[in-house]
Amino acid sequence: MTVGVRLPCFRLAAALRHTLAPDATAFSVERGRRRVVEASDAAERAGVRSGMSLHVAMRLAPRAAVVLDDGPRAARAWRRVLDVLGRLPAPVEDDRPGLAFLTIPRGDRPERWFGRVRDRLAPLGLRVRCGAGANRFVAAVATHRAADAVCPPGREAAFVADSPLELLRIDGDVALRLRLLGVRTLGDLAALPPAYLQRFHGEAPLLHDLGYGW
Whether residues 143 and 84 fall in one domain: yes
**Residue 190 confidence (pLDDT) above 80:** yes
Any idea what the CATH number is for the domain that residue 144 is in? Answer: 3.30.70.270
**Residue 195 confidence (pLDDT) above 90:** no
3-state secondary structure of 40: coil
Contact between 61 and 53 under an 8 Å Cβ cutoff? The reply is no
Q: Of 151, 169, 187, which residue is a domain's last?
A: 151
Query: Whole-angstrom Cα distance, residue 121 to residue 128?
Result: 8
Whether residues 80 and 147 fall in one domain: yes
pLDDT tens digits, residue range 171-188?
Answer: 777 778 888 888 888 888
Whether residues 37 and 95 fall in one domain: no
Contact between 63 and 57 under an 8 Å Cβ cutoff? The reply is no
> Mean of the per-residue pLDDT values for the chain?
88
Whether residues 123 and 168 fall in one domain: no
pLDDT tens digits, residue range 15-63?
Answer: 988 877 878 899 999 988 788 999 998 999 999 988 889 999 999 999 9
Query: Whole-angstrom Cα distance, residue 182 to residue 92?
Result: 37
Whether residues 56 and 100 fall in one domain: no
Any idea what the CATH number is for the domain that residue 42 is in? Answer: 3.40.1170.60
Distance spanning both ends of the chain, measured CA to CA: 13
Whether residues 165 and 133 fall in one domain: no
**Where residue 114 falls among pLDDT bands split at 50, 70, 90?**
very high
Q: Of 71, 97, 118, which residue is a domain's last?
A: 71
Whether residues 143 and 171 fall in one domain: no
**Where residue 75 falls among pLDDT bands split at 50, 70, 90?**
very high
Query: Whole-angstrom Cα distance, residue 3 to residue 161?
Result: 19
Total domains in the chain come to 3
Q: Of 116, 133, 151, which residue is a domain's last?
A: 151
Q: Which domain holds residue 98?
A: 2-7+75-151
pTM recorded for the entire structure: 0.86
Over range 162-176, report the average pLDDT: 79
Whether residues 195 and 134 fall in one domain: no
**Where residue 202 falls among pLDDT bands split at 50, 70, 90?**
low
Whether residues 174 and 205 fall in one domain: yes
Any idea what the CATH number is for the domain that residue 187 is in? Answer: 1.10.150.20
**Where residue 204 falls among pLDDT bands split at 50, 70, 90?**
low
Whether residues 107 and 138 fall in one domain: yes
Whether residues 52 and 94 fall in one domain: no
Closest Cα partner for 156 from 85, 77, 210?
210
Q: Could you tell me the sign of the dihedral formed by the alpha carbons of 83, 84, 90, 95, in that order?
A: negative
Whether residues 170 and 137 fall in one domain: no
Tell me which amino acid residue 44 is: E
* Alpha-carbon distances of 33 from 53, 55, 96, 112, rounded to whole Å: 8, 11, 21, 43
Over range 80-100, report the average pLDDT: 95
Q: Which carries the bigger pLDDT value, residue 13 or residue 170?
A: 13
With vertex at residue 66, the alpha carbon angle to CA 60 and CA 72, rounded to the nearest 5 degrees, is 135
